[in-house]
């Protein structure tokens, strides 16, 4: 399953190539509380079909109604983007289901060859961070290599958005736990790769949408060069496989590196990595082990949920407190509630 932004861009491009009028809608700015963050995307075609969202559903309903009344043809006839604001008054906020005081400003862009959607999708697939600047006066978009993500910037003449590569999860080890973890990651829009050189573990392990590699884990990590939108999780319990992958992953730009195991095994792993492989203390501090948030996990599915929750928290910039002990001797991570700005990307 692709991430939502990639699905929106791919649908918009496909509809356009098939001759349908298409409008790409971007959340440009928000004030107060809003259901969807700046950078969120939605595509609407002339038949009223949509992909993506810009609110909890009420704004979409209004946009679809406008389209049924000829809105898409009207917007596309000018070939120029336009802005639309919802929730200015308390009555509007209530009507469109916005939280009290919430305001959403949208940019409606008629899709054309000048939109550069094909090149934008290619950049996403090649894991290139892209800055897209749309000229509101001409409808032409310019793509540049840019930062991984950022808050959209809207002026009287331009809309600038940032699209990072799709979030990727590399899992070391094929097994029941990795299957549950991969299923969750896929549902969240992650690109997922499972690596296991052991034929007996790899045989019969398959999951639609997951790439399975027979490489040695360290070879895979060196080849893929994890970037800042990549997480690596080691699940084999075999130091010959896990440690080699962790050594290279901890020296990469990966935003999350974790490994399962008991507290004792995790401590021994850190000692091995420090004493035999000369990993620095900052690199060792970046290792999440045991991986996952404490939720009292007992089954493979629950353990996968705890790991995925920690991965998503790190992806979204939530700073987790240092582990604290509880009465039963297990480890708990506490995550404070933070207002985190979610940035649209090819995925996020």
Query: Distance between CA atoms of 199 and 184, rounded to whole angstroms?
Result: 24
For residue 110 the two structure tokens come to 């008629």
Query: Distance between CA atoms of 160 and 132, rounded to whole angstroms?
Result: 6
pLDDT in tens, the chain (348 residues): 667 888 999 999 999 999 999 999 999 988 766 667 888 899 999 888 899 988 766 788 888 777 767 666 666 666 789 998 887 556 666 666 665 557 889 999 999 999 999 999 999 888 888 999 999 999 999 999 877 667 899 999 999 999 878 899 999 999 999 999 999 999 998 999 999 999 888 888 889 989 999 999 999 999 999 998 999 999 998 888 999 899 999 999 999 999 998 888 888 888 888 887 878 888 888 999 899 999 998 899 999 999 999 999 999 888 776 543 333 334 444 433 333 332 233 332
Domain map of the chain by residue range?
4-163, 168-332
Question: 168-332: what CATH class?
Answer: alpha beta
For residue 292 the two structure tokens come to 């996952």
CA diameter of the chain? 70
H-run or E-run covering 320: none
Query: Distance between CA atoms of 283 and 280, rounded to whole angstroms?
Result: 5
Residue 172: partners with Cβ closer than 8 Å, 6 or more residues away: 195, 196, 217, 232, 233, 234, 235, 236, 241, 242, 245
Find residue 52's DSSP bridge partners: 42
pLDDT at res. 339: 31
For residue 264 the two structure tokens come to 């004792």
Contact 242, 234 (CB under 8 A): yes
Query: Distance between CA atoms of 139 and 120, rounded to whole angstroms?
Result: 15
Question: How many other CB atoms sit within 10 Å of the CB of residue 204?
Answer: 7
């Amino acid at each position: 399953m692709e991430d939502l932004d990639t699905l929106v861009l791919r649908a918009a491009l496909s509809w356009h190539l098939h001759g349908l009028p298409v409008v790409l809608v971007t959340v440009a700015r928000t004030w107060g509380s809003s259901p969807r963050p700046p950078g969120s995307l939605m595509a609407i075609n002339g038949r009223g079909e949509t992909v993506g969202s810009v609110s909890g559903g009420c704004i979409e309903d209004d946009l679809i109604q406008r389209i049924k009344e000829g809105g898409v043809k009207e917007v596309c006839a000018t070939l120029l983007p336009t802005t639309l604001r919802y929730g200015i008054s308390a009555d509007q906020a209530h009507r469109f289901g916005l939280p009290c005081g919430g305001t959403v400003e949208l940019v409606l862009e008629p899709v054309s060859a000048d939109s550069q959607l094909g090149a934008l999708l290619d950049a996403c697939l090649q894991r290139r961070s892209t800055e897209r600047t749309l000229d509101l006066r001409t409808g032409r978009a310019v793509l540049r290599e840019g930062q991984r993500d950022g808050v959209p910037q809207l002026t009287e003449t331009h809309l600038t958005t940032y699209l990072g590569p799709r979030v990727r999860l590399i899992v070391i080890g094929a097994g029941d736990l990795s299957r549950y973890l991969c299923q969750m990651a896929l549902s969240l829009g992650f690109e997922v790769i499972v690596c296991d050189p052991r034929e007996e573990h790899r045989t019969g392990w398959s999951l639609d949408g997951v790439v399975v590699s027979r490489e040695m884990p360290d070879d895979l990590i060196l080849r893929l060069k994890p970037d800042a939108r990549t997480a690596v999780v080691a699940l084999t319990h075999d130091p010959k496989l896990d440690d080699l992958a962790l050594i290279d992953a901890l020296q990469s730009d990966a935003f999350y590196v974790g490994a399962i195991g008991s507290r004792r095994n995790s401590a021994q792993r850190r000692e091995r990595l420090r004493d035999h492989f000369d990993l620095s203390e900052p690199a060792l501090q970046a290792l999440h082990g045991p991986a996952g948030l404490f939720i009292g996990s007992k089954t493979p599915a629950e353990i996968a949920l705890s790991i995925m929750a920690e991965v998503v928290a790190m992806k979204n910039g939530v700073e987790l407190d240092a582990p604290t002990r509880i009465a039963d001797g297990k480890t708990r991570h506490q995550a404070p509630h933070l207002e985190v700005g979610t940035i649209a990307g090819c995925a996020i």
